[in-house]
Structure 1
């Protein structure tokens, strides 16, 4: 079970890398006001959602204790990210504020995962 959990954690990290990488590649365009949500951002957020839910299930099945408040906060942030990226995915230009919120929430989600014990 431990190997499966580690594989799913790896996939979860790939998802966050895709989301954050898509954001970082659009930073220059954001300052010019022409940023858009690239498909990698949507796919990364969806990967995070699926693997995150799988991790909760696998850890519960392996009798690990889970911090449900932390998981709820991370899920809430991810739903906001996913909602913004999904709704505005076809727009040619996304407002700086919306784009910044996605980047900020993505970074916040990373630090919550690392620092909240």
Structure 2
């Protein structure tokens, strides 16, 4: 079971990388007011959601303790991120505030995962 959990942790990190990498690739365009929500950002957020749910289930099945408050906060942030990316995915230009919110919430999600013990 540990190997499966580690595989899903790796896939979760890949999702974070796709979401944050997509954000960073658009920073220069954001400064010019021409940023877009690229497909990698949507796919990364969906990957994070699927693997995160799988990780909670696998950890509970393995009788590991799960901090449900932490998971709830991370899920709430991810739902907001997914909502923003999904709604704005077809727009030619996304407002800097909405685009910056995706980057800030993704970064907050990472820090919650790492620092909240």
* TM superposition shift of 1:72: 0.2
Q: Secondary structure at the match of 2:70?
A: helix
* TM superposition shift of 1:48: 0.2
* Partner Cα separation in structure 2 for residue 82 and residue 73 of structure 1: 14
Which residue is equivalent to 1:83? 83
* Partner Cα separation in structure 2 for residue 46 and residue 23 of structure 1: 15
* TM superposition shift of 1:43: 0.1
Q: Deviations over 1:65-108 (max 9, x none)?
A: 01100000000000000000000100000000000000000000
Which residue is equivalent to 1:48? 48
Counterpart mapping for 1:1-12 below 5 A:
1-12=1-12
RMSD value, Cα: 0.2
Counterpart mapping for 1:1-117 below 5 A:
1-117=1-117
* Partner Cα separation in structure 2 for residue 71 and residue 58 of structure 1: 14
* Partner Cα separation in structure 2 for residue 88 and residue 37 of structure 1: 6
Q: Which runs of 5+ in 1 are unaligned?
A: none
TM-score, L = length of structure 2 = 1.00
TM-score, L = length of structure 1 = 1.00
* Partner Cα separation in structure 1 for residue 8 and residue 67 of structure 2: 18
